[in-house]
Amino acid sequence: MNILEIIKGKLIVSCQALADEPLHGAHIMRKMAKAAKEGGAVAIRANGVDDIIAIKEETNLPVIGLVKRDYKECEVYITPTTKEIKELISSGCEVIAMDATNRCHPDNVSLKEKLDLIHEANLLAMADISTYEEALFAQSLGFDMVSTTLSGYTPYSRQAEGPDVELVAKLVKELKIPVIAEGKINCIEDIKKIKEQNPFSIVVGSAITRPQLITKRYVDAYLK
Ligand SMILES: CC(=O)N[C@H](C=O)[C@@H](O)[C@H](O)[C@H](O)COP(=O)(O)O
């Protein structure tokens, strides 16, 4: 079965912890992914080659891979250059997720050239976008799917708590390629609202795999 068939109508869990987060480390992310699989996740979104290899070894689930890396004077950090794409191609992931926002990338390589690199390796490409226009552009370039990952994380996109339900709805209506709903889906109510828009699949991250943020929500609710 190809990955699109596997993820259609199902939950993907993002298992990520950066170096400054308590759960950082491939030995922990592999267990997080194992727990997600036991709970019914059909694929994992993961950051960095070490985590991807460990997660694949532990779960054998399809992986949407990315490499988060900061470059000087550049806001783009999700698979920002061809260097990260090449790392991911050798990682064993099935899909490569990359920033497809309308911002300057650290290298002078166009999104189209990066996309071609992914397709030449026989992998699928996910465009992480923040607006409707960026999604349309990604589709016109030939990306295999778009994800609303970056809504709220670019200065010009919607800034609000909770998932961007409106963007998901508009993308599902207007786009021909699969639309993945991702970002700020923090509770069961959010899942219900998003599901009504009929996205191709849903990604949940922090609400499942970042216990420091989960704890904070409970602490805040208790202290308020
Ligand atoms: C904005 C950004 O850098 N998002 C990252 C993308 O890979 C991850 O840190 C998120 O956890 C993921 O998108 C899932 O979203 P949420 O954790 O809100 O469920």
pLDDT at 152: 98
The total number of structural domains that make up the chain: 1
Domain of 214: which CATH number? 3.20.20.70
Residue 108 reports pLDDT greater than 90 = no
Comparing 73 with 85, the larger pLDDT belongs to: 85
Residue 42, both tokens: 């059909």
pLDDT 10s digits, 39-67 = 999 999 999 999 999 999 999 999 999 99
| CA torsion through residues 211, 182, 190, 41, sign | negative
Instruction: Provide φ and ψ at 104, rounded to 5°.
Output: -70, 135
Cα–Cα distance measured from residue 78 to residue 67, given in angstroms and rounded to the nearest whole number: 6
Reported pTM: 0.98
From the list 124, 149, 156, 140, the residue with the least C-alpha distance to 199 is 149
Identify the domain containing residue 201 by its residue range: 3-223
Residue 118 reports pLDDT greater than 90 = yes
Mean per-residue pLDDT of the chain? 98
Q: Please name the residue that has the structure tokens 């795999």.
A: 209
Give the ipTM of the model, two decimals please: 0.99
Cα–Cα distance measured from residue 151 to residue 128, given in angstroms and rounded to the nearest whole number: 9
At 180, the amino acid letter reads I
How much of the chain exceeds pLDDT 90, in percent?
98
pLDDT 10s digits, 119-171 = 999 999 999 999 999 999 999 999 999 999 999 999 999 999 999 999 999 99
CB count within 10 Å of CB 28 equals: 17
Question: Measured from the CA of 186, which atom of ligand 1 is nearest?
Answer: 19
pLDDT 10s digits, 5-52 = 999 999 999 999 999 999 999 999 999 999 999 999 999 999 999 999
Cα–Cα distance measured from residue 201 to residue 167, given in angstroms and rounded to the nearest whole number: 14
- Determine the distance separating the centroid of ligand 1 and the alpha carbon of 46, expressed in angstroms: 10
Provide the residue count of the chain. 224
Alpha carbon dihedral 194, 100, 158, 172, in 10-degree steps, equals: -30
66 in ligand 1 pocket by Cβ < 6 Å?
yes
- Determine the distance separating the centroid of ligand 1 and the alpha carbon of 195, expressed in angstroms: 18
- Determine the distance separating the centroid of ligand 1 and the alpha carbon of 165, expressed in angstroms: 16
